[in-house]
Amino acid sequence: MTTRGGGAPRRRLRPAGLAVVTVAVAAVAAALVGACGDDDGHGLAPALRVRRPFQPEPLKPEPVLAIGDVRTLPPDVQAALAPGSDYQTAPTPHGDDWLIMNNEPGQTFGQWERGGFNRPDDRRRVLYLLPIGELPASRTPPLEDLAEVVRAYFQLEVKVLPEAKLAAVGATTRTNPSSGKPQVLAPDVLRWLTLHVPIDAYAVMAVTMTDLYPDPEWNFVYGQATFSDRVGVQSFARYDPAFYGEPRPPDWRRMLARRSAQVLIHEIGHMFGLFHCVHWSCVMAGANHQAEFDAHPLHACPVDLRKLWAAIGFDVASREAALAAAWTRLDLADEAAWSTARAERLRAAAATR
């Protein structure tokens, strides 16, 4: 049986289970940005080491080769994956950029396809967002707007669950020595989430205003997700400059929305088996400091887009049109314009079938 959009056969979903979610033994996706304790809370740490489902290739292939052979794909999908003006190759890392601090070979489409990662099936096709604790409207983007981004990006049904109380999670807490603010241990949240995955869920992504940390030696983490158990958690706490006692710029709400959407997409992407991207400037790329993080686009590169298309099955032009509308809701005009132009080109390509 193939996905609705064609591509490789579906994999059977692994059930979410408590036994394999601890950082010590699980395939856990490291956060987009994480920090180790410096005085101002902005210093950054190497990625968590994760157990890979297979041995990656020793050398990073050329970006075009990482996409794989697309000749048998529909014309519109070929157009969506064509490297060109829509995509920028990954910048050469320097200083303390992610790839200077982390030796990652990336993940080709072929590696992903052979990896046996979860894919949505007929019974589990819903992405759930679960707020943990209150999400003040004055400090977070509207959750329904973020849900619309997730709905458009992954082309799956999205539901928002009722708020869960932080105390009910039973996670380890501490006071961050740099910020003096409370934090929750992210792996404990992941463990709790595996016990609360709805029967029709492909994945559950928790969102919270409480700051997170992944390990006692780390300062903080923006988000964390598992490759196998279909659960993740993200904190909105540090997207607002006011967290650090810094003044808010005039466009701080747009910045807040962009950062929130970026981490949300990135962490859910890990739940589809996507590793950090090294081939293009991509939403799935790792970042080791704020400037590198903010320079990433909100769209997937051709390699990761092909993985998502093979896993989910969607009309590529309709997806870009939906994303354009979702970005507009968040007042992200640059991403909306990018997706609008793409939708028009891909509709033209589809007409050549």
Count of the separate structural domains present in the chain: 1
Q: Report the CATH number that the domain containing residue 37 is assigned in CATH.
A: 3.40.390.10
Average per-residue pLDDT for the chain: 84
In a domain, 10, yes or no: no
String of DSSP letters for 179-214: T--EEEEHHHHHHHHGGG--TTEEEEEEEESSEEES
pTM over 0.95: no
Output the pLDDT for position 61. Answer: 58
In this structure, is residue 8 part of a structural domain?
A: no
Q: Is residue 166 part of a domain?
A: yes
Q: Which of 214, 173, 327, 348 is closest to 260 using CA atoms? A: 327
Domain membership flag for residue 274 = yes
Mean pLDDT for each consecutive 10-residue tract of the chain (353 residues)?
32 36 38 38 31 44 86 95 87 90 92 95 96 93 96 98 96 94 97 97 97 93 92 95 92 94 96 95 90 93 97 97 97 95 93 75
pLDDT at 17: 33
Residue 215 lies in a domain: yes
Residue recorded with tokens 């849900």? 147
What pLDDT, on a 0 to 100 scale, did the predictor assign at position 27?
A: 47
Residue 11 lies in a domain: no
Distances from the Cα of 306 to the Cα of 108, 311, 313, angstroms: 10, 8, 10
Which residue range forms the structural domain that includes residue 188? 18-350
Options 113, 148, 267, 292, the catalytic residue:
267
pLDDT for residue 306: 98
CA–CA separation, 339 and 326 (whole Å): 10
pLDDT digits (tens, 9 = 90+) for 235-249: 999 999 999 999 999
Q: Is 49 exposed, middle or buried (0-12, 13-18, 19+ CB in 10 A)?
A: exposed
Q: How many helices (H) and strands (E) does the chain have?
A: 12, 11
Please name the residues in contact with 80: beta carbons below 8 A apart, sequence gap of 6 or more. 302, 305, 309, 316, 342, 346, 349
Q: Count the neighbouring beta carbons within 10 Å of the beta carbon of residue 297.
A: 17
HSE at residue 333, side-chain half, CA atoms within 13 A, is 1
Active site residue 292: no
